[in-house]
Amino acid sequence: MSARKRAAAAPAANGETGSWKATLPCNKAEAEQLQEEIGALALLDEPPVLMTSEPDPAQPDVWRLDAYFAGPPSAEMLAMLKSLAPSAAGQEPLVEQVEERDWVTLSQQGLEPIRAGRFFVHTPAHRDSVPADSIAFEIDAGRAFGTGQHETTSGCLVALSKLKDQGISVSNLIDLGTGTGLLAFAAMRLWPAARAAASDIDPVSIEVTEENAGINAVRLGRIRGQLELAVAAGLEHPRLRQRAPYDLIIANILAGPLIELAPSVSKALEAGGRLILAGLLDSQADAVAAAYRRHGLMQSFRVEHGEWPTLVMRKRRSLGWR
């Protein structure tokens, strides 16, 4: 049985004698989407831990969604859960009480370390298994997307490694939609003297990135070798505009926003700079690449990672920024 996880948060015990699980059927597309977005559940004071699994490999589009709550889920919570699996319309979640669990352990269950390019990404449970020849990061399964488990994140790590292998130098980089901060941290380890920034539209992601920076000895600040953080949609923040143009932009978001951001992202990239695009399905890659070609970028190479390719593009002409 294959499984994926989107741990919204690790809820604290609330005095109930046990934890609660709600189960719904879903399809593969819905399970994949949960790697990126968990809807209104993320706004709860104690969001559930969500897990998706493929019970029968012989039926590759039949998946299951399990949501673990710290207490009995309300009707409103169950309605939020049902909105994540439209294919199960008309079905009510199966709700059952389960034995008390350590929620941090639950959120990390099944999250094996990831080796991607030069990098080794692990949870606290695997601190003792770091290969000597790797660049390691400890990223806990928690409130933001980007633990390295999903193909979009690991594909970006491979792309960064390939750029370094090609002898590419980077002096000014930004990670758009940073999630946990992992991709910004990885780029900074490869180019430690670069100026670096990371942004996300979600304030929680920036909080998580700050926490992960402390865990992984990443310095925060505005000078070279430090990471500046900003809550922003795309590049719509005064500091991010002031820092442009960038010679490396990493954007692991979704296909729709990537296409919408093409004009501003392309303008913020200096001539000859590299752009890493991820969060798109194989069927969406041509449309995303075409959006950036219209702004003077050409594809350098592509990392194949299951159904989620990573595109690396290079800007061939300057369009100016301000």
Q: pLDDT digit string (tens) for 161-176?
A: 999 999 999 999 999 9
Domain count, the chain: 2
Give yes or no: residues 147 and 36 share one domain: no
Please tell me the distance from the alpha carbon of residue 312 to that of residue 70, in angstroms, as a whole number: 42
Q: For the chain, what is the radius of gyration of the CA atoms?
A: 20
* Residues 262-290, mean pLDDT to the nearest whole number: 95
* Residues 48-68, mean pLDDT to the nearest whole number: 82
The CATH number given to whatever domain includes residue 57 is 3.30.70
Burial class (CB in 10 A: 0-12, 13-18, 19+), 56: exposed
Read off the amino acid at residue 143: R
Please tell me the distance from the alpha carbon of residue 145 to that of residue 158, in angstroms, as a whole number: 18
Give yes or no: residues 139 and 287 share one domain: yes
**Within a domain: 320:** no
**Does the model's pTM come out above 0.85?**
no
Give yes or no: residues 260 and 190 share one domain: yes
Of the candidates 76, 108, 140, which is a domain's last residue?
108
Give yes or no: residues 49 and 122 share one domain: no
Give yes or no: residues 284 and 148 share one domain: yes
Q: Are 310 and 282 in contact (CB under 8 A)?
A: no
Please tell me the distance from the alpha carbon of residue 187 to that of residue 162, in angstroms, as a whole number: 12
Give yes or no: residues 175 and 243 share one domain: yes
**Within a domain: 321:** no
Q: Are 269 and 315 in contact (CB under 8 A)?
A: yes
| Residues shown for the chain | 322
- The boundaries of the domain holding residue 194 are 114-315
What is the pLDDT of the chain when averaged over all its residues? 84
* Residues 216-227, mean pLDDT to the nearest whole number: 96
Per-residue pLDDT band at 36 (split at 50, 70, 90): low
The CATH number given to whatever domain includes residue 193 is 3.40.50.150
